[in-house]
Amino acid sequence: MPVNRGVIVAVGAIGALALAVGGAIAWVGGQGIGPLIPPREQCEATVNGTTVTLDLEQAQWAAVISGVAVRRGLPPRAATIALATAYQESGLRNLAHGDRDSLGLFQQRPSMGWGTAAQVRDPHYAAWKFYDALVKIKGYEKLAVTVAADRVQRSAFPNAYADHEGDARILASALTGQTKGAFSCTLDNPSGAVETIGANGLTPRADAVRQDLAKTFGKLSTGGYAEGGVRSGHMEGSAHYDGRAVDIFVKPISAANTTRGWALAQYLVAQADRLKIKTVIFSDRIWTAGGRSDSGWRDYQAPDRTGNRDTLRHLDHVHVDVVDQ
């Protein structure tokens, strides 16, 4: 991850070099040498010591592609094939152009029956249609990634998909929840106007998160909000009382549900910039936007109060909250 903000280092007898937050001026020997550069906004997936770096747009679409695979109950191999394909076809970008009438993440062509131009530029639709074609290929799970991808795409450069297999495998492992706490983003603290609680007990931003999760993962069990707002059941100062938080339940606690929880949690981090997400907590780990996001997933200390310890530790649900201003 990038260097943390707020580091102070003493350097030799000639003076001190201080790296300060806020004014962001580096001082060497009593002279300012210019502003510090904050950590770059980006996302990383690290699996077995190998790291893949994405910009924020690429991360959003990689998470959608993986999330649709999770929704459909497909193996991580399917997500690997889809991600390698999107890497090669568009660089994981939702393109508005391409060869002839090719469009979107997978450069699907309306003239070849993939859907309308608007549909193939909808990443959820495009991913769903890709998987529709993939699952029709007998034994695709055992095929080489480049072979499976080409049987869907019918590419002029079929071997090119292999160039992205390693990165795609790492992203698929993280974003389908197979590798826990492996995907995180360095992100400046998002901001937005203060919002009031709506009819269902959520602010518009928090409700947008709920709806986005449903669009990607399908029907989910959610809570932590209620018509008119919640008044108890959470620790003092909780975002739930402001209608800014949603809990996504993954009960009962099991290996499969924990994997699903990590798919949800890491998806939310990937969408944090777009949806103005501030905090995600799951399974004794926490990610926060802003100054500490470059530390990735950190240990979460459950509050010391009466209650179900599994719930307090967020073992049975993913917590997400959005900014308040």
**Which region among 5-14, 27-36, 170-179 has the lowest average model confidence (pLDDT)?**
5-14
Which of the listed residues 122, 150, 179 is the one where a domain comes to its end? 179
Q: Which residue is it, tokens 């399908």?
A: 218
66 and 34 within one domain: no
pTM for this model (two decimals): 0.87
> Model confidence over 65-80: pLDDT tens digits?
999 999 999 999 999 9
Which helix (H) or strand (E) segment is 184 a member of?
Answer: strand 183-186
Q: Which of 179, 207, 239 is the last residue of a domain?
A: 179
Instruction: State whether 213 and 305 are in the same domain.
Output: yes
Per cent of the chain over pLDDT 70 is: 87
**Region 207-218: what's the mean pLDDT?**
98
Is the confidence at residue 28, as pLDDT, over 60?
A: no
CA angle 26, 27, 32 (to 5 degrees): 85
Of 46 and 3, more confident = 46
Report how far residue 212's alpha carbon sits from residue 254's, in angstroms, rounded to the nearest whole number. Answer: 25
Residues 6 or more apart whose Cβ sits within 8 Å of residue 234: 224, 240, 241
Q: Are residues 105 and 136 in the same domain?
A: yes
- Pair 170, 209 in one domain: no
Structure confidence at residue 37 as a pLDDT band (50, 70, 90): low
So what's the pLDDT on residue 16? 37
Helix (H, G, I), strand (E, B) or coil at 3: coil
Shared-domain flag, residues 55 and 92: yes
One domain, residues 107 and 123:
yes
- For residue 284, what are the domain limits? 185-322
Helices (H), 218-304: 255-270, 272-275
pLDDT of residue 233: 86
DSSP string of 76-98, one letter each residue: HHHHHHHHHHHHHHHSS---S--
Q: In the structure, what pLDDT confidence band is assigned to residue 15 with cuts at 50, 70 and 90? A: very low
- In this structure, the answer to whether residues 254 and 143 fall within a common structural domain is no
Task: Verify that 191 and 142 share a domain, yes or no.
Answer: no
What one-character DSSP code corresponds to residue 122?
A: S
**Torsion 25-28-31-34 (CA) sign:** negative
Residues 219 and 249 both lie in one domain: yes
Specify the number of domains making up the chain.
3
DSSP 3-state of 54: strand
Do 20 and 48 lie in one domain? The reply is: no
Radius of gyration of the chain (CA): 22
Q: Are 43 and 61 in contact (CB under 8 A)?
A: no
Q: Are residues 6 and 120 in the same domain?
A: no
144 and 255 fall within a common domain: no
| pLDDT for the residue 314 | 97
Give the residue from 119, 148, 179 where a domain finishes. Answer: 179
Question: 87: number of CA atoms within 13 Å, CB side?
Answer: 27
Over residues 290-307, the mean pLDDT reads 91
pLDDT tens string 189-199: 888 888 999 99
The amino acid that residue 303 corresponds to is P
